[in-house]
């Protein structure tokens, strides 16, 4: 069973969201998603300042098996991007919920995070796939 921290929210496209104290949210791909992809060899993150719509493709992760888009679970403005992943894409595999984060977003609507799945809901979703 993959790790699914209880303090995060989740999307059906396998992204996680952590609400930060400053009102931004940190977004990455779930442990389940990185395990499905396999060893990552390339990660492309969006530029700081980019405006994203909810469910818009905003990043790319490539493994030895496949390339996959990462979707913004919320609309907002990119406040920071994890540029370190350009040199260490394996951080997503090694620490999906820590050093493997992709972007920090200033959400257009902070309440939108409440519409995302809880850890239990996400786990049930993954098991039903």
Is residue 13 within 8 A of residue 58, CB to CB? The reply is no
Digit-coded pLDDT (tens) for 6-52:
999 999 999 999 999 999 999 999 999 999 999 999 999 999 999 99
Q: Report the pLDDT value the prediction gives residue 129, as an integer from 0 to 100.
A: 87
Mean pLDDT (whole number) for 60-76: 95
Is residue 54 within 8 A of residue 75, CB to CB? The reply is yes
Asked if residue 73 has pLDDT above 60, the reply is yes
Cα–Cα nearest to 80, from 50, 36, 114, 42:
50
Digit-coded pLDDT (tens) for 79-101:
999 999 999 999 999 999 999 99
Is residue 50 within 8 A of residue 56, CB to CB? The reply is no
pTM: 0.96
**CATH, range 9-114:** 2.40.50.100
Domain segments of the chain as ranges: 9-114
């Amino acid at each position: 069973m993959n790790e699914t921290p209880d303090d995060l929210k989740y999307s059906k496209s396998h992204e996680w969201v952590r609400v930060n104290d400053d009102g931004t949210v940190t977004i990455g791909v779930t442990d389940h998603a990185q395990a499905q992809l396999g060893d990552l060899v390339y990660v492309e993150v969006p530029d700081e300042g980019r405006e994203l719509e909810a469910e818009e493709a905003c990043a790319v992760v490539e493994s030895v098996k496949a390339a996959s888009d990462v979707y913004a679970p919320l609309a907002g403005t990119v406040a920071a991007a994890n540029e370190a992943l350009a040199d260490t894409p394996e951080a997503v595999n090694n620490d999906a919920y820590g050093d493997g984060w992709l972007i920090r977003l200033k959400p257009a609507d902070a309440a939108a995070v409440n519409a995302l799945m809880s850890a239990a809901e996400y786990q049930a979703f993954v098991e039903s796939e």
